[in-house]
Structure 1
């Protein structure tokens, strides 16, 4: 059925703007501009942003580290808010969403309002706040897309997560344990798992232990059915040596472009490697992935990241927030553009 016709309303939005790339995050020139936004294409929706997460990729894109980033633009990939224009059945709905395009190749979510495809909007479960919904985005989309590509983890399988306490690592842990898999996670120092899980998460401190040998010991010599490598090259060797026969490894990032590749181990182990690039996902594609996770959030099986009061920023403190997200902060940071 064709969506109902939109009204012709427009809004004056307050938008964070980045005009050009910088050499260091401390030198990024962020401005605030007033811009007129309206639904102009069939299928558009206009959302009043109540919260917008601040991702490391948002800050990195201001440094020119994303080759398809355009300038000038409004940054921001994740959002939650209320639909104020668009298809009639969506008006007044509390929604959230994410994207690989928003804030990178087109104007994004670090603003008081956003025009986006209505098909990208996901209705927010009633049991989570708008700030929490805004924080789901990139980490859970990335985590779920890896499992969609490689095959969802199953009861009885072992999932090894390299970079356990990063936001994607925590999302992977939640999804894998929700599906009944055993989770083993790798950290760089002596620390416990920081997130939510269904059941015990075995933690390996890579600064003190041989990761592959420990995984073999924990699995009776079998190895991990799935290695979810959220770090890339630093853990490539450990992850590959931890794979079970017929194991699959998922990559989402790396610090270096190349690694030593043992082709004998690869084909003798019948391994499969999967690459996940969340930046390639359109807003509607990200929305489709998030809808798969909504039942988990609605039931309480999946938990959004906690949003601490001191992790909430106004747009006027954007420069400070961008430095924090690339620095020592491990909190989920969000803007509340409308106060």
Structure 2
């Protein structure tokens, strides 16, 4: 089969496309023909060597959608989708014509999504669900502020919060989500993150001085101080990333007097099978149309896979970038 592969860490230039051995369906495994696979920022970080645990040589790519070629009889021919914190890191990934997966990692793709759309869901919605629902335990009637709402994870969190009955969903980012996008339609108000806006003050104004019950910070680092200051009494901050800096200062007296909680969520800790369990919970929302995929900005064939990675590295695409092997 043909695959995108890297044998050393670096930029998109270390990626090569060529023939590699077909994956083998050992006991407990299935072979999936990859119809589409998205590229996440974490895939770019994987190739660059900024993610822990990657073993070389490796085929990258966490998210996928495709058709089962080999496996149990009741799965052969099924349209599936998936993701995993091991896929593309310690297990060959989805940026190839075929991939081998544990049978427990197979999840039937919602019929409402085509392959390209389904390939954009995995990381964004799994870490969104993990952080907002399982970690922060967002409850109906609460207010959530989503930092990085214009990105893939932030847009997913906004939709998840809306579906879970949040009283108010606030979006924070340098620029607003595109009009008509799923994120734009899920938020109640947008707060720009720039030098001219006091984000915590604006969030307190919107919430009548209370602040947000939950802040989901999909950026981290440069946003952490504002995120903490935006919380209500006993508010919960979820952090999934650290952009610009990995160390921050907080006022500990303020932190404990307001009885705040800071929580981390890491989708890398969820392998393909554990991620599949989350996708099973998420699937009905797509089937009912309550969740919508990100718009696809660019699609590439496998031979132009390095160009797809450059599109992510250069941050020129407003929407998802997919490879269609």
Q: TM class, shorter-chain normalised?
A: over 0.9
User: Tell me, what secondary structure is at the counterpart of 1:302?
Assistant: coil
User: Tell me, what secondary structure is at the counterpart of 1:184?
Assistant: strand
Match in the other structure for 2:4: 16
With normalisation by structure 2, the TM-score equals 0.94
Deviation per CA, 1:260-281: give whole Å up to 9, x if none. Answer: 0222122111111111111221
Corresponding residue to 1:293 among 263, 277, 282: 282
Match in the other structure for 1:231: 219
Contact 2:135/2:265 (8 A) holds in 1: no
User: Tell me, what secondary structure is at the counterpart of 2:268?
Assistant: helix
Report deviation, 1:140.
0.7
Matches within 5 A, 1:151-230: 151-181=136-166, 182-189=168-175, 195-196=181-182, 200-207=187-194, 208-230=196-218
Match in the other structure for 2:312: 325
Contact 2:53/2:90 (8 A) holds in 1: yes
Matches within 5 A, 1:67-216: 67-181=52-166, 182-189=168-175, 195-196=181-182, 200-207=187-194, 208-216=196-204
Contact 1:165/1:194 (8 A) holds in 2: no
CA distance in structure 2 between the aligned counterparts of 1:302 and 1:229, rounded to whole angstroms: 20
Contact 2:301/2:324 (8 A) holds in 1: yes
Report deviation, 1:122.
1.1
Over 3 Å counting, the alpha-carbon distance change for 1:75 and 1:237 in structure 2 is same
CA distance in structure 1 between the aligned counterparts of 2:299 and 2:2, rounded to whole angstroms: 17
User: Tell me, what secondary structure is at the counterpart of 2:74?
Assistant: helix
Per mean C-alpha deviation after superposition, the further-off stretch among 147-156 and 237-246 is 147-156
With normalisation by structure 1, the TM-score equals 0.90
Deviation per CA, 1:144-200: give whole Å up to 9, x if none. Answer: 010233344233211101111011000000100111211111121466666315655
Contact 2:132/2:216 (8 A) holds in 1: no
Contact 1:16/1:33 (8 A) holds in 2: no
